[in-house]
Amino acid sequence: MGLKFHNTLTRGVEEFAPLTPPHVGLYCCGPTVYDFGHIGNFRTFVFSDVVRRYLEFRGFSVNHVMNITDVEDKIIRRVHETGQTLAEFTGRYTDAFLADLASLHCLPPHHLPRATAHIDGMIQLISRLMERGIAYRTADGSVYFSIDRYRKSERWPGCACHYGQLVNLNIDDQRQTERVASDEYDKDNVADFALWKARVPEDGAVFWPSPWGDGRPGWHIECSAMSMALLGDSFDLHLGGEDLAFPHHEDEIAQSEGAGGLHGDIAGKARPFVKYWLHGAHLLVEGRKMSKSLGNFYTVRDLVGRGFSGREIRSLLMSAHYRETFNFTLAGLDGSRTALARIDECVGKLRERAAGTTAPAAPALLQAFTEAMDDDLNISRGWAAVFDWVREQNRALAANELDAARAAAELAAWERIDHVLGLGAKATDEAPAEIVALAEARVAAKKAKDFAKADALRAEIKAQGWVVEDTPKGPKLKRA
RNA sequence: GGCGGGGUAGCCAAGUGGUAAGGCAGAGCUCUGCAAAAGCUCCAUCCGUCGGUUCGAUUCCGACCCUCGCCUCCA
């Protein structure tokens, strides 16, 4: 059986068949850079990293695109407040975001388009929508997408003109929420969304010229323009957090297909904007919805500041299936640390046994892991395969059943798996010379059967922040 | 009000119409001068509640309870 994904578009699990194998175009909605990303944001980004890595593991050639939203309402407000330029302000948070991504062992996406670098494409899309009569300009110079005209418009290949593909909604019978009711804009219909927002004094220097006057793009059109510019008008995978399914992704479909694509390919080839939509669930923190007032709002930096490593955070974020709400806890991070140590220990022993020998990867672990991940990325089952393998290797090592060649084969298998999990080796920490000297003195005391002195030296080492463990090959020093 | 997820051991979390993966925590054992670390073993007669279908249901159906998300710019 092949790889399967749950597609929000069809609300079911489907065989993954890319448009032009072995190439896969993958777009994930990236961050809006107005603050440091929190652990919930990064669950989605780690998820997209795992999708990319697993596709590569399965032999696909992935073009991974993640946008950086660097112009948006909150950003403009903060720029206005801080007196910085747009580039200064967003540059700082973009750098922080990329650093956090790296600390979580996420591979850098192949392209990280900035919205401000794709204004032309957005204007082009809006122009096409205006030409087709699906968009309209209001008195203040803003441009909106008319859902009504889109739905009533003549259908053409590649565009079903159906609004409500990702979520079941009866848009004629929507409850008026407070946000809608308080909307001040001059729109034909409350459900219409902005494609272009006319310049207002508070925007300061943040504006671009357009056929409709100075202004800036709406949020949804940014992703349509960037994804189609880099992946073509029709591509394989579009990922994001579950909250983006509506309205953000729904609007992307409407705009992109309504415009016939950025290059006119959607209509020409009768292909949809995106073939598979994958949405990652949110997480709770300590059992509650994450919020600053509850004190359970963590950025990656907060957790690193508490002494957790990126790989520990990453492995916890990867512990549950991506479509399930996951409860992220500090106790869980401690658990990840212990569990990773178990893997590290086993891999370390295999490496020792293999002693530099190389061999083709042993099949058992690869097969069990692939079976799990092929099933809509069932990573919990994937972890089970890994830990079953760890137990089996430990047993075989203890029973002296592994020669160098077999150890090397198992190690090769693990390395392929780790290329998907992205855990890497744990950071090793060399003890300073004075600590090593104390440990050596302790070995001498032990040899002389002066255990009182040996224990005193162990206490001394501990007081200096190190732990000494006796192994068959002599003492091992670890940071306390 | 509409739509969509969930409720599985102390905690996290897979899964299946035929009798419950994995991780953490806990217990026992091995190793050790003692430790530590590590390893091995054990650890849910039970899957929110109540009904129904079935030879058999945690798994299917119905009702109910609880919980989370979306319903116009929030991953």
In sequence order, the β-bridge partners of residue A398 are none
The confidence score (pLDDT) of residue A185 equals 55
Specify the amino acid at residue A96: A
Q: Classify residue A192 by its DSSP letter.
A: -
pLDDT tier for residue A180 given thresholds of 50, 70 and 90: very low
Find the nucleotide nearest A179 (Cα to C1′).
B72
Pair of tokens at residue A432: 């300073």
Whole-number Å distance between alpha carbons of A194 and A187: 9
The confidence score (pLDDT) of residue A283 equals 92
Give just the sign of the alpha carbon dihedral A170, A175, A176, A179. Answer: negative
Q: Do A336 and A129 meet the contact criterion of CB atoms below 8 Å apart?
A: no
Pair of tokens at residue A446: 């032990």
Sort residue A371 into left (φ over 0), alpha (ψ -120 to 50) or beta.
Answer: alpha
pLDDT tier for residue A172 given thresholds of 50, 70 and 90: low
Residue A184 has pLDDT above 80, yes or no: no
Q: What is the mean pLDDT of chain A?
A: 91
**Mean pLDDT to the nearest integer, A306-332:** 94
Find the nucleotide nearest A280 (Cα to C1′).
B75
CA of A374 to C1' of B44 (A): 29
Q: Classify residue A249 by its DSSP letter.
A: I
Answer yes or no: is A352 CB < 7 A from strand B.
no
The confidence score (pLDDT) of residue A335 equals 94
Which residues 227-266 in chain A have a CB closer than 7 A to strand B? Answer: 240-248
Q: Are strands A143-145 and A193-198 parallel, antiparallel or unpaired?
A: antiparallel
Residue A7 has pLDDT above 90, yes or no: yes
Q: Are strands A274-280 and A235-241 parallel, antiparallel or unpaired?
A: parallel
The confidence score (pLDDT) of residue A169 equals 72
Answer yes or no: is A53 CB < 7 A from strand B.
no
**Mean pLDDT to the nearest integer, A46-51:** 97
Residue A333 has pLDDT above 90, yes or no: yes
Residue A467 has pLDDT above 70, yes or no: yes
pLDDT tier for residue A189 given thresholds of 50, 70 and 90: confident
Find the nucleotide nearest A346 (Cα to C1′).
B38
Which residues 370-399 in chain A have a CB closer than 7 A to strand B? Answer: 375, 378, 380-381, 383-384, 387-388, 390-391, 394-395, 398
ipTM of the complex: 0.94
Segment A108-155, tens digit of pLDDT: 999 999 999 999 999 999 999 999 999 999 999 999 999 989 988 877
Chain B, protein-covered positions (CB within 7 A): 1-6, 11-15, 21-25, 32-41, 68-75
Q: Which residues of A255-290 are buried (b: 16+ CB within 10 A; e: fewer)?
A: bbbbbbbbeebbbeeebbbbbbbbbbbebebeeeeb
Whole-number Å distance between alpha carbons of A165 and A247: 11
Residue closest to B38 C1′ by Cα: A345
Q: Do A414 and A365 meet the contact criterion of CB atoms below 8 Å apart?
A: yes
CA of A129 to C1' of B51 (A): 55
Lateral strand order in the sheet of A193-198: A135-137, A143-145, A193-198, A215-217
Answer yes or no: is A422 CB < 7 A from strand B.
no
Q: What angle, rounded to 10 degrees, do the helices at A219-231 and A250-258 form?
A: 60
Q: Which residue has the higher pLDDT, A286 or A362?
A: A362
Q: Do A302 and A290 meet the contact criterion of CB atoms below 8 Å apart?
A: no
Q: Classify residue A233 by its DSSP letter.
A: S
Residue A177 has pLDDT above 70, yes or no: no
Segment A80-103, tens digit of pLDDT: 999 999 999 999 999 999 999 999
pTM more than 0.90: yes
**Mean pLDDT to the nearest integer, A55-69:** 97
pLDDT tier for residue A291 given thresholds of 50, 70 and 90: confident
